Amino acid sequence: MRETTKQQLVSAASRLLDGGGQDAVTLRAVAEQVGVSHNAPYRHFSGRSALLAAVAERDFTLLRQAFEAQDEAHHDAAAALRGASDALIAYALDHRARYRLLFSDPDLVAEASLRQTAFGAFTAFSRIVARCQQSRHLPRVDPVELTGLIYAALHGAIDLHIGGRASDTKGLASVQATVQLLFDLLNGAASAASG
Q: pLDDT at residue 77 above 90?
A: yes
Considering the domain architecture, whether residues 13 and 65 belong to the same structural domain is answered as no
Residue range(s) defining the domain that contains residue 18: 1-45
CATH for 16: 1.10.10.60
User: Quick one: 86 and 175 in the same domain?
Assistant: yes
Percent of the chain residues topping a pLDDT of 90: 81
pLDDT band at 192 (very low <50, low <70, confident <90, very high): confident
What is the number of other CB atoms lying within 10 angstroms of the CB of residue 23? 9
Whether residues 90 and 64 fall in one domain:
yes
14 and 69 assigned to the same domain: no
Residues 60, 24 share a domain: no
What is the tens place of the pLDDT at every residue in 49-67? Answer: 999 999 999 999 999 999 9
Query: What's the total number of domains in the chain?
Result: 2
Asked if the structure places residue 5 within a domain, the reply is yes
| CATH number of the domain bearing residue 103 | 1.10.357.10
Q: For the full predicted model, state whether its pTM sits above 0.85.
A: yes
CA dihedral 176, 65, 67, 134 (to 10 degrees): 180
Do 41 and 61 fall into the same domain?
no
Domain membership flag for residue 51: no
Same domain, 91 and 183: yes
Q: Where are the alpha helices (H) located in the chain, listed in sequence order?
A: 5-20, 27-34, 48-73, 77-94, 96-104, 112-134, 143-162, 175-194
